[in-house]
Amino acid sequence: MNKLGYNPDVLSCLANLSNDEVFTPPQLANQMLDMLPQELFRSPDTKFLDPCAKSGVFLREIAKRLIEGLADQIPDLQERIDHILHHQLYGIAITRLTSLMSRRSLYCSKDADGKYSISHFDNSDGHIHYRDLRHTWQNGKCTYCGASKEVYDRAGDLESHAYEFIHTDNPNKLFKNMTFDVIIGNPPYQLSDGGGSGSSAIPLYHRFIQQAKKLSPRYLTMIVPARWYTGGKGLDEFRDEMLHDKRIRVLIDYNDSRLCFPGVDIAGGVCVFLWDRDNQGICHVKNIISDSIQYESTRHLDEFEVFIRDLRTINIIHKVQLIKEPTMDSIVYSRNPFGFSSTYNYSYTRPSANTIKIMTSKGDFYVPIKDITTNKGIVDDWKVVMSKTSAEHAGQADKDGRKKVVSRIEILGKQYICSESYLLIGHMKSKEASVNLLNYIKSKFFRFLLSAVLLTQNIAKDKFQFVPLQDFTRPWTDEELYAKYGLTDEEIQFIESMIRPME
C-alpha cells in the first residue's frame, strides 16, 4: 500500500471503530484547533491541556503546530521538541489503555522515559498521567459523577470509569495551580445507570466542561453531544448555564454526528463550541446540515429557554408566537398520568366490575380501579395518548430523511386509561374533539414544531412548548395552519421537506 502512496493515520482508523469509545478523527481535531487564535502556536509560553485524552490526537496535532510555529525562536529541532513536550502540553487519560495510546501518539512511546521516546522524561507518564480512582459512594451514587454503586462498584482489576478530572472538588490541585491557556478535548459522554443507554444513561460531558471552567483557561473548546440544547436528564441547569454564558463565541452544530465521526450515530447530533474567557459577546452559530448544506448566523443563545439549532425554524416560531396563544404543554400531562409504572404487575386480562382497561406497551390489560393514584376524574373523558418514544428511533424515517416524529397516537374512550409508556396529550368531553386533536397531532405543522426541541428519543411534556393550542371544536389541516400563521412558500417547503406524511 505504501508503494501506492497510501499511508493511513492510525488515529483516523481508531476514529472509525465504534461508538463505544468515540475517538476524535485528526481532521476534526484540526478544525477545532483552527478556531483558536493561531498566534497561540507561535508562543513558547502557551500551555495546552486535554483533560480527557483518549488517542492523544489533540496533543499530537498541537505539537505539530508548535514545532512549526516555534521554528524561528528555537531553531534546534530537538531543543524545540523538548521545550514543547516538557513545558507546553499536558493531558489526563480516561483509562489506562488510553494513557498508553496518548503517550504513543505524542512521545512515540508508551513510556515517556523509554528508549524510543522522542524526549526524555524521568518518569513513564511524562505529562500524560492516569490514576485508577474509585468512586465516592453516598446513598448508592457517586457524589462526583452520579454513577450507580450497583453498576460501578467493581473489583480492582476492572475499569471503574471514575475519571480523575471530574472526581475532585479542586481541579487546580491536579496541576499544582498551573494556568492553562487552552483546554481542549472530547470528553466521555455518558455512563450506564443500569437501566438502558442513550437518553436513559447518566450524562457526563457537562461535568468536564464545568470543571474546565474552574481552571479559568483563556480558551475552552470541546466536542460534545447536542442534547444539552433542550436539557433533560441531569442537563437542565447546565443548559441554562451554557445559554446565558456570553463567553461562548462560536457554536458549530452538526445535525448528524456522522459528519464528524464516520459511522457513529449519536442521537441529536453533536456540537463544537469555543469559550473565550476575556471576550464576551454575541455568538457565531454555524449549522452543518450536510456536506453541502450549511447555515451561519450571529445570535444570542438565550433567546428561548432551549436552544433552537436552525435559524429557519426560529423564523417560523417567531411567526407562531406573534398570535400569543397558549401552547400544548399547558394541556399535556407529565409522565405516568394514572400512576401505573413499568414495574406494575399486570395480571388481569379479563374485565370485572372493579377493574378498568389499560393500554400498555405489552398490550391491553385490566387493573383494579382502586390502583389509579392520579387523575381519576378524567377516566370517563375521551383521551388522546401518544407513545413517548419518537418514531425515528423505531427506524421510521423515510429515504429522503424526512421525519415522522410521532410513533403511535390513539384515542382512548371512557373507562380506558394508559400506562407510563404513553403520554396523555389531552382529554375531551366529546369524541369529535378528541378526533380533531388527534388529527392536529398528525399535521406536519404540529410535528415540525415538536421536532424543533426533540433531540433524543423520549418525548416529554416540555417538548410541546412551541406548539400552539387550537380550538378543537373544529378540525385543522396543514393548509389552514400555514395560512393562519402567515407562512411563506419557502417556509412551507422547509416544513414539507423535514416532515413526512402520517397515514
Which pLDDT score is estimated for 422?
Answer: 95
Three cell numbers, residue 126 = 511524562
pLDDT greater at residue 216 or residue 267: 216
Question: Residue 18 — very low, low, confident or very high, per pLDDT cuts 50/70/90?
Answer: very low
As a whole number, the mean pLDDT across the chain is: 91
pLDDT of residue 197: 42
Q: In what order do the strands lie in the sheet with 248-254?
A: 128-129, 89-93, 48-53, 182-185, 219-225, 270-276, 248-254, 283-288, 294-299
Predicted local distance difference test score (pLDDT) of residue 32: 97
Q: 384 pLDDT exceeds 90? A: yes
Q: Which residues pair with 296 in a beta bridge?
A: 286
Note the CATH number of domain 2-220: 3.40.50
Q: Which residue has the cell 505529562?
A: 127
Joined grid coordinates for residue 215 = 481552571
**Banded model confidence at residue 11, pLDDT cuts 50, 70, 90:** low
**Nearest-angstrom CA–CA distance, 325 and 377:** 27
Secondary-structure class of domain 328-498 per CATH: alpha beta
Domain ranges of the chain: 2-220, 328-498
Cell numbers at 146, concatenated: 452520579
Instruction: Say what the pLDDT of residue 200 is.
Output: 59
Given this model, what pLDDT does residue 234 score?
84
Q: What is the pLDDT of residue 194?
A: 61
What pTM value is reported for the model? 0.86
Position 177 scores a pLDDT of 84
- pLDDT above 90: residue 78: yes
How far from the centroid of its chain's Cα atoms is residue 36's Cα? 23
Q: What is the DSSP letter of 35?
A: T
Residue with the three cell numbers 468512586: 135
Grid cell of 26 as nine digits? 485528526
Cβ proximity of 378 and 415 under 8 Å? no
Cell of 127: 505529562
- State pLDDT tens for residues 153-185: 887 777 888 999 999 999 988 988 899 999 999
Phi and psi at 310, nearest 5°, equal -105, 125
- Contact between 133 and 99 (Cβ < 8 Å): no
* Helix, strand, coil percentages in the chain from 3-state DSSP, rounded to 5: 35, 20, 50
- Residue ranges with strand state E in 265-381: 270-276, 283-288, 294-299, 355-360, 363-368
Beta bridge pairs of residue 222:
185, 273
Asked if 239 and 273 touch (Cβ cutoff 8 Å), the reply is: no
pLDDT of residue 401: 74
pLDDT digits (tens, 9 = 90+) for 285-302: 999 988 888 999 999 999
Judged by DSSP in three states, 95 sits in coil
**Beta bridge pairs of residue 248:** 275
CB atoms within 10 A of CB 46: 24
